[in-house]
Amino acid sequence: MNNFTTLLAKETKALFTSPIAYVLIAVFLLLMGYTFTAYLFISRTATLVQSVFQASMILLLIVPVITMRLFAEERRNGTLELLLTSPVREIEVVLAKYLASMAVIAVMLALTLAYPITLQIFGSPDWGPVYSGYLGLILLAGALVAIGLAISALTANQIVAATVSLGIFLLMWMLDSLGSLLPDPYDIFVVNLSLTAHFTPFATGALYLSDLGFFAILIMLGLLFSVRALARR
Amino acid sequence: MPSVIVADQLTKHYGNRVAVDSVSFEVGKGEVLGLLGPNGSGKSTILRMLTGYLHPTSGRARIAGFDVTEQGLEARRRIGYVPEDVPLYPGMRVDEFLEFMGRLKGLDGRALGDAVARVCDQLSLERVRNLGIGKLSRGYRQRVAIAQALLNSPDLLILDEPTNGLDPRQIIEVRELIRALASLHTILVTSHILSEIERVATRVAILLDGQLLTIQALDNGGRERILARIRGGSADRIAATLVAVAGVRNVSSAKDAGEASYDFTVEIDDPSVAERVAADIVGAGFGLLSMARTRTDLEDLFLELTGKARQ
């Protein structure tokens, strides 16, 4: 086993042996289940679009809880010193924490596959928006976790990490409506930085390379800043 | 003797504050260097730069020939480090933690199992190896931290305040452990307690306010000294009696203390020799007016240097 897989195993085990992951998954599924059922009975339409939007909003609130402890806790306990004075690279530590957090999200989303399966059994849903919706949720979660990880790497206080992450996520979500208030050409520039503008096409079944690129860049910047934050000692 | 540590003009600034100021020293293979200084003198910062946790503002350091900044991975492979306050993962079991740290140090398979068994045996951790780290006492936590540092048999063992927070029995155990490890590893140990350094190190580096004041060789054969006031004979006869006591290494020239008594500073191997000195002086018919432990050379040196530097 190389350093990366050793670190990934440790991080995944730490997340799944703590109650945090299970509480978050339970809360996520409870809220999603309510939305899915309520919308299905009201609209009587075999679609997941509303549920995908609902999932994206819940992710904005849940991801800071997952990422706040990743580095902040290690920094506060001093174990970061133990880790970084071992023969490991910063990028290995960052990627292990990132992928372990994404595993929690993956479990959450995998459990919601019951909804499209239910729709398929009792109706005939359009699978295009379902596929693109899940891809969008994974990309959105990937970007949020990367940003949350970078913020956690900058502080030893978990509450600070969570609050700052949540603030940034909400701001990036609201940039869509805030940007449209600005004069031309600033409005387009600001709106294009918003999570909503790039997530909505995925939720409604449209795939654009620019949206894929936007989330890919956010993920890379988040991971890069995390590595830089660790390396700047 | 090849150098395991070469620190060259190591400097660390935190904003405007200079934590370590142009510190240079070398540590040869098999040496035990003690970094001695009051809290905040820069000891831990030096260790953190040597282990690659902090990057020097300027200056360089090499561990076993590898630059700690440019060849950090190679340098860190040759270091076993026990940070101050022994940070561990409280949610892991002892064996699980040691296996995790062993893997990070490049061990795997049978070599990993053997290394974990070896350090558990070396640090007497067999009884607790299946317990959660969060349930261990401070003494055991210290042992686990030292055990992880020894997993890959490093060239250099770095211990930051290893006796901090331990009870007297545990302090003696850690001290004996360091002495035992000194035959296998080069050791860099810090303490703000002078007697701790004096008991384990072969050389001492004295730090104050981030500056290295001096590096001195220590004679570990024992530096206990007693001051005795004796009467009832000539200074030469008393001195001859003192020198004849087993365990006395040196006797200073007599100082006249008035009323036909003399003060002698007697260097002894260990504190138990003081009893024999008292018995032999009285047995020889002299009067022993007073006897007290006095400061060692290192204490004198430390006070003199830190006093001068502060002036």
* Strand ranges in A93-200 using DSSP code E only, listed in sequence order: none
Q: How far apart are CA B264 and CA B228, in angstroms?
A: 5
Angstrom CA distances, B127 to A60, B94, B95, B131, stand at 46, 10, 11, 9
Q: pLDDT by residue (tens digit) across A10-47? A: 999 999 988 999 999 999 999 999 999 999 999 888 88
pTM of the model: 0.83
Q: Are B101 and A86 in contact (CB under 8 A)?
A: yes
Q: How far is B145 from chain A (nearest CA, A)?
A: 10
pLDDT at B19 over 50: yes
Strands B261-268 and B224-231: antiparallel
Q: pLDDT by residue (tens digit) across B166-183? A: 888 888 888 888 988 988
Which chain A residues have a beta carbon less than 8 Å from that of B48?
81, 85
Residue in chain B lying closest to A4 (CA): B104
Chain B residues contacting A via beta carbons under 8 Å: 48, 51-55, 73-74, 76-77, 79, 81, 83, 85, 87-89, 91, 100-101, 103-106, 108, 148
Instruction: Pick from A86, A89, A227 the residue to mutate for testing the B interface (most B CBs within 10 Å).
Output: A86
Residue whose entry in the numeric block shows the structure tokens 């990367």: A146
- Read off the pLDDT band of B70 (50, 70, 90): very high
pLDDT at B159 over 70: yes
Which chain B residues have a beta carbon less than 8 Å from that of A1?
103, 108
Q: How far apart are CA B101 and CA A3, in angstroms?
A: 10
ipTM over 0.85: yes
The shortest CB-CB distance from B108 to any of A1, A77, A233 is to A1
SS3 A111: helix
Is the peptide bond preceding residue A185 cis, with omega within 30 degrees of 0? yes
Angstrom CA distances, B23 to B43, B155, B208, stand at 11, 22, 11
List phi, psi (to 5°) of B86.
Answer: 30, 70
Q: How far apart are CA B206 and CA B35, in angstroms?
A: 6
Q: Are B60 and B9 in contact (CB under 8 A)?
A: yes
pLDDT at A181 over 50: yes
Q: pLDDT by residue (tens digit) across A131-174? A: 999 999 999 999 999 999 999 999 889 999 999 999 999 999 98
List phi, psi (to 5°) of A192.
Answer: -70, -10
The per-residue pLDDT for B238 is 92
SS3 B67: strand
Closest Cα to residue B80, out of B169, B174, B184? B184
Q: pLDDT by residue (tens digit) across B102-158? A: 999 999 999 999 999 999 999 989 999 999 999 999 889 999 999 999 999 999 999
Query: What is the count of residue pairs from A and B with beta carbons less than 8 Å apart?
Result: 58
Q: How far apart are CA A168 and CA A29, in angstroms?
A: 24
Q: What is the dihedral of CA A92, A93, A99, A101, to 10 degrees?
A: 180
Residue in chain A lying closest to B56 (CA): A233
pLDDT at B218 over 90: no
Q: pLDDT by residue (tens digit) across B247-304? A: 888 888 788 888 889 999 888 877 778 888 999 999 999 999 999 887 666 777 777 7
The per-residue pLDDT for B221 is 46
Q: Averaged over A73-97, what is the pLDDT? A: 94
The per-residue pLDDT for B308 is 66
Q: Which residue has the higher pLDDT, B42 or B257?
A: B42
